Amino acid sequence: MNTSFERCENTKVEWLSPPELVACLGEFDLDPCSPINAPFVHAKHNFTTLDDGLAKEWFGRVYLNPPYGRGMELWMEKLKFHGNGIALIFARTETKCFFEHIWNDADAILFVKGRIRFYHVSGVQGGTPGAPSVFIAYGKENAKVLKDCGIEGRFLALK
x/- mask, ligand SAM, residues 91-120, rule CB under 6 A, reads ------------------------------
Dihedral angle of Cα 20, 21, 27, 33, to the nearest 10 degrees: -100
* CB 51 to ligand SAM: min, Å: 6
Binding piece for ligand SAM, criterion CB under 6 A, among 41-49, 96-104, 124-132, 142-150:
41-49
- DSSP assignment of 2-40: -------TT-----BPPHHHHGGG---SEESS--TT-SS
Region 118-157 residues binding ligand SAM, contact defined as CB under 6 A: none
* CB 76 to ligand SAM: min, Å: 13
The answer to whether the CB of 4 falls within 8 A of the CB of 11 is: no
Q: Which amino acid is at 95?
A: T
Nearer residue to ligand SAM within complex by CB, 104 or 125: 125
Cβ neighbours of 142 (radius 10 Å) = 24
* CB 57 to ligand SAM: min, Å: 13
Which residues are near ligand SAM by CB under 6 A? 14-17, 31, 33-35, 42, 47-49, 52-54, 65, 67-68
